[in-house]
Structure formats: C-alpha cells, structure tokens
Copies of this chain bind each other. A is one copy, B any other.
C-alpha cells in the first residue's frame, strides 16, 4: 500500500496538483484552500507541493499563469462588428463567464482580491492577457486606448461582481438579452464614443 518512489505509468503528478489547486483556490480562496486538501484531492502527498512548486505561494502563481485566453474572442468580436461591438462582446463574455472554466476564473479572481500580492498578479494578468489584446484590435487613436479600455474594464468587472459574486437581484437572474440591451451601449460608448 502506497509504496514509495515514482508512481508507475506516466502519471503527471505536477499536472494533477495544478488542476486540484485551481479548483481549490477558486472555490475556497487562498487561505481556505489548504495544501493538505489540495494534495489529497490530487491523490498525492502534501510534501509533493513543496517538491514540485516550492511552496503554497509559488503554487498559486503557477495556477494563476493558466487563465482563459480571451484573445481569439476579442479579435473575432471587434473584427466582425466594428460599429457596435458592445452587444457582441457582452454576449460572448456572458457565455464565457458561465462556462466551467469561466466560473473557475471568477473564483480565482474572487479569492485573489484580498491579498495585496495576489492582487498585483491579477492586475498584471488583466493588463497583459485581456486589456492589451483588446487595445490591439481597437480603431480609435492609440493614445486614447488605455483610458477607454480601463473604462470598459470597470463596467465588465462590475457586472461580474454584481451578477456572479454578490448576486444582486434582478441582475443575477436577468436574461442575457436584457443585459445586452442595457449595458451594450455603455460598452460601445467606452470603446468608441465620447468619453472626454
């Protein structure tokens, strides 16, 4: 029972830990997710986390390094509907957030918000993997893009928070259509309307 040494078969312990950790961090936050429970879920010994990652902090870093990549979606939306991208963007974003990986991402976001160091990671990730791709596809003068994109981010993140985290009604139960018609114009204005 539970002999020592490398596990037979090409078992990828490191990957097993990563998926267990992603769920744990997303569902229970950084403090709530214990090294021991993650290891148990992954079916390995707790000390494997230190062996493979160095410690709990580095494990979180590793997990945060694998987010959904929104670049294809952004390119598709902004390329396809240049005049009123808000509706299309919102539609795809809502679908993405309500998918399995999307919920995990929201959970990770949620659990990263209350530690200053992890908030820094979130900011970097947001800038590099979400806002930068959007800026690259925009048509307005380059100098305006950072400001417009940060405005866009406020509306998007606020929507996530209110609908999926705080779950305020009637927003939490609203149809996608309702949200798209209500919030779409805001997105359009932030992306290409009058903002100063």
Contacts and interface: CB of A to CB of B under 8 A. Distances in A.
Interface residues of A, number: 46
Interface string A154-168: 111111011101111
Number of copies: 2
A87 to B, nearest CB: 13
Nearest to A185: B189
Interface string A113-132: 11100010011001100010
A196 B66 CA distance: 37
A46 interface: no
Residues of A contacting B: mostly: helix
A183 interface: yes
A150 B169 contact: yes
A156 to B, nearest CB: 7
Interface of A: 29, 31-32, 110-111, 113-115, 119, 122-123, 126-127, 131, 146-147, 150-151, 153-159, 161-163, 165-171, 174, 178, 181-183, 185-186, 189-190, 195-196
Given A31-B31, A147-B182, 17 more contacts: A29-B31, A32-B114, A110-B113, A110-B114, A113-B113, A119-B165, A150-B171, A153-B162, A153-B171, A154-B159, A154-B161, A154-B162, A154-B183, A155-B186, A157-B158, A178-B196, A181-B196
